[in-house]
């Protein structure tokens, strides 16, 4: 998942050298039709920022000038989605009154209800449900319940279940809601989901289920919850290596995040992105190489001993390193 942030000062500094105001036909048309001064069409970055700040008057001005109510800002989505992310009910009301689709999805397939559930905005969740936000989604898609459980918001999870959410809904790779609680070591939530009827037998496309994840991430208490005594004894006797290496998501490096933010600004202005894309690709490749070096196993070492029968005192030893060609020789 992502955390919207303000553009860094570096973005503004660099963008200032390359960006320039452009005539916007949409704004000109609005001015000629209404006799009012032209209102600039916001780019996705500016739209998202202004709505995050909760500038309702700005939202009304854009909507009055003809901005579509389901206009998508970058990262989060529509104005209604941004309001849900921030828990800003008055902002959501503005866009809904102007015709926004309460079940619209963003580029990641997320809805306003999912945003509110992820951020733990209970009142926003209730507001959305009361106005037609759907808790059900097509098969193999993330749901608001997945998000609420992953983030540990038990009250919201209960609210969603009471409104008909599928407790055994499956994510795009087939992971269950219960598996979200297991992954994040939410022991109380896992126990509660089991009491509500969560299925422990669901497996994702990798063949992993709740018990597999509990063992992999060393959540022993949860492993006991989601298995029978016989199942637990069987998996507890297996070596830790059977569960694979534990990997957690790492935050984007700061310098790479800055370049990505600058690219978003350039893209919103319709400027050339080739050079910036090359810089981003080069930096990503650099971090990928560094990651491979960190994760690579140490070179294999072979001890070679040689001696002559006639002169055993001339025995030689050396260590051969593979795949490196470096050799350490001792006499």
Residue 296 has pLDDT above 70, yes or no: no
Contacts of range 163-167, beta carbons closer than 8 Å, 24 or more positions apart = 163/129, 163/135, 164/135, 164/136, 165/135, 165/136, 166/136, 167/193, 167/196, 167/197, 167/198
Residue where a domain terminates, one of 134, 157, 192? 134
Q: Nearest Cα to 45, choosing from 68, 11, 95, 83? A: 11
Residue 274, in any domain of the structure? no
Distance between CA 136 and CA 130 in Å, rounded?
Answer: 15
What is the per-residue pLDDT across 74-89, written as a single tens digit (0 to 9) for each?
989 999 999 999 999 9
Q: 115 and 49 share a domain?
A: yes
Q: So what's the pLDDT on residue 40?
A: 73
CATH at residue 29: 1.25.40.20
Q: What is the mean pLDDT of the chain?
A: 82
Residue where a domain terminates, one of 180, 213, 247? 247
SS3 for 209?
strand
Q: 78 and 124 share a domain?
A: yes
Please name the helix (run of DSSP H) or strand (run of DSSP E) that holds residue 300, with its range, or none: strand 300-306
Residue 302 has pLDDT above 60, yes or no: no
Q: 129 and 29 share a domain?
A: yes
Q: 44 and 106 share a domain?
A: yes
Residue where a domain terminates, one of 247, 281, 312? 247
Work out the pLDDT band at 36, boundaries 50, 70, 90.
low
Question: Mean pLDDT, to the nearest integer, of 283-290?
Answer: 74
Q: 50 and 121 share a domain?
A: yes
Instruction: Write b or e for each residue in 107-117: b if 16 or more Cβ atoms lie within 10 A of its Cβ, otherwise e.
Output: eeebbbbbbbb
Could you identify the residue written with the tokens 């704004």? 27
Residue 306, in any domain of the structure? yes
Residue 160, in any domain of the structure? no
Contact 215, 246 (CB under 8 A): no
Of 98-102, 204-208, 262-266, 293-297, where does mean pLDDT reach its minimum? Answer: 293-297
Work out the pLDDT band at 257, boundaries 50, 70, 90.
confident
Distance between CA 301 and CA 320 in Å, rounded?
Answer: 6
Question: Mean pLDDT, to the nearest integer, of 1-26?
Answer: 37
Work out the pLDDT band at 203, boundaries 50, 70, 90.
very high
Question: Mean pLDDT, to the nearest integer, of 267-290?
Answer: 78
Residue 221, in any domain of the structure? yes
Q: 27 and 130 share a domain?
A: yes
Q: 123 and 170 share a domain?
A: no
Residue 9, in any domain of the structure? no
Work out the pLDDT band at 241, boundaries 50, 70, 90.
confident
Q: 127 and 193 share a domain?
A: no
Query: Kindly report the CA angle at 117 between 171 and 112, in degrees rounded to 5?
Result: 85
Distance between CA 185 and CA 205 in Å, rounded?
Answer: 21
Work out the pLDDT band at 211, boundaries 50, 70, 90.
very high
Residue 155, in any domain of the structure? no
Q: Up-side HSE of residue 99: CA atoms within 13 Å toward CB? A: 8
184 or 320, which is more confident: 184
Q: 78 and 128 share a domain?
A: yes
pTM equals 0.68
Q: So what's the pLDDT on residue 1?
A: 45
Please name the helix (run of DSSP H) or strand (run of DSSP E) that holds residue 316, with its range, or none: strand 316-322
Q: 124 and 28 share a domain?
A: yes
Residue 30, in any domain of the structure? yes
Residue 200, in any domain of the structure? yes
Q: So what's the pLDDT on residue 3?
A: 44
Domain of residue 35 covers 22-134
Structural domain total, the chain? 3
Of 31-45, 186-200, 230-244, where does mean pLDDT reach its minimum? Answer: 31-45
% of the chain surpassing 70 pLDDT: 73
Q: 29 and 123 share a domain?
A: yes
Distance between CA 136 and CA 149 in Å, rounded?
Answer: 15
- Percentage helix, strand, coil for the chain under 3-state DSSP, each rounded to 5: 50, 5, 40
Q: 226 and 322 share a domain?
A: no
Residue 120 has pLDDT above 90, yes or no: yes
Q: Up-side HSE of residue 104: CA atoms within 13 Å toward CB? A: 23
């Amino acid at each position: 998942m992502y955390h919207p942030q303000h553009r860094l000062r570096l973005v503004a500094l660099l963008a200032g050298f390359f960006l320039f105001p452009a005539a916007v036909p949409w704004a000109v048309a609005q001015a000629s039709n209404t006799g009012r001064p032209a209102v600039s069409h916001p780019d996705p970055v500016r739209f998202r920022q202004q709505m995050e700040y909760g500038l309702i008057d700005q939202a009304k001005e854009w909507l009055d000038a003809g901005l579509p109510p389901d206009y998508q800002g970058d990262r989060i989505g529509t104005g209604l989605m941004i309001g849900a992310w921030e828990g800003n009910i008055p902002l959501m009301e503005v866009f809904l009154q102007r015709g926004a689709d309460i079940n619209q999805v963003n580029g990641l397939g997320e809805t306003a209800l999912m945003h509110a559930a992820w951020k733990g905005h209970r009142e926003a969740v209730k507001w959305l449900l009361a106005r037609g936000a759907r808790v059900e989604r097509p098969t193999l898609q993330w749901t608001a319940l997945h998000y609420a459980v992953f983030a540990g918001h038990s009250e919201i999870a209960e609210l969603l279940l009471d409104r008909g959410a599928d407790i055994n809904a499956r994510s795009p790779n087939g992971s269950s809601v219960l598996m979200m609680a297991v992954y994040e070591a939410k022991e109380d939530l896992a126990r509660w989901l089991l009491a509500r009827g969560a299925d422990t037998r669901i497996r994702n496309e990798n063949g992993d289920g709740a018990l597999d994840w509990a063992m992999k991430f060393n959540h022993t208490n949860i492993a006991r919850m989601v298995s029978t005594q016989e199942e637990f004894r069987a998996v507890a006797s297996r070596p830790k290596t059977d569960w694979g290496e534990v990997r957690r998501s790492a935050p984007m490096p700061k310098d790479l995040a800055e370049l990505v933010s600058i690219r978003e600004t350039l893209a919103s202005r319709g400027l050339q992105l080739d050079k910036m894309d090359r810089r981003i690709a080069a930096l990503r490749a650099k971090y990928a190489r560094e990651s491979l070096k960190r994760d690579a196993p140490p070179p294999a070492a072979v001890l070679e001993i040689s001696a002559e029968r006639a002169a055993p005192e001339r025995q030689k030893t050396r260590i051969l390193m593979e795949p490196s060609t470096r050799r350490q020789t001792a006499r």
